[in-house]
Homo-oligomer: A and B are copies of this chain.
Amino acid sequence: MTPQENDENQQHLNILLFSADYDKCLAAFILANGAKDMGMQVTIFCAFWGLLILRDEKRISPENKDLYAKMFAAMTPSQVENLPLSKMNFAGAGKAMLLNMMDKEDAPHLTDFLNGARKKGVRFCACKLSMEIMGFTKEELIPEIEVAEVKVYLEDAARADINLFI
């Protein structure tokens, strides 16, 4: 934690990232990067589908999973860029169109925003209960995540200036 992050007066954004839609994650990470650029503290607490964003594709290890966890891992996108849209996905056609429109505007993709957030020092937490239910191990997720109970979320959120459930 940097000295800046100990500052009681520093503003603080907390996002409970529940969804794994490409567009909703994009919104969450645009906010997280923007807040960091303004000098705010940012916590992203990933629960349920939000855990998919934390998977490190180089480290997914199906051999350690039981049947349901294996099926679940197989059914969910292992790459951030493969997440579907929340609306108008049209089996990928709407998503491809959105990506085309983003490229035309030279807008960064979700992976870029995720990498930016990691470099800027966003605090990433993974909901312990969700990990257990979904059969994710800490080893499959990006290394800097904290596996945290709901209490950690509530304490962080109670101190935050902006709380969003996305």
Given contact pairs A18-B166, A23-B48, A69-B101, a sample of 4 additional A-B residue pairs in the complex whose CB atoms are under 8 Å apart: A11-B158, A23-B49, A72-B97, A158-B162
Closest to A12 in B: B158
On A, residues with C-beta under 8 Å from B are 11, 13, 16, 18-20, 23-24, 26-27, 30-31, 34-35, 37-38, 40, 47-49, 66, 68-69, 71-72, 75-76, 86-88, 94, 97-98, 100-102, 104-105, 107, 129, 132-135, 149-151, 153-155, 157-158, 160-166
Whether A162 lies near B157 (C-beta < 8 A) is yes
Which residues of chain B are within 8 angstroms of A48 by Cβ–Cβ distance? 23, 26-27
CA distance A64 to B166 in the complex (A): 33
Which residues of chain B are within 8 angstroms of A88 by Cβ–Cβ distance? 75-76
Least CB distance from A157 to B in Å reads 5
Instruction: Using known A-B contacts A154-B35, A165-B166, determine if residue A20 contacts B101 with beta carbons closer than 8 Å.
Output: no
Whether A30 lies near B129 (C-beta < 8 A) is yes
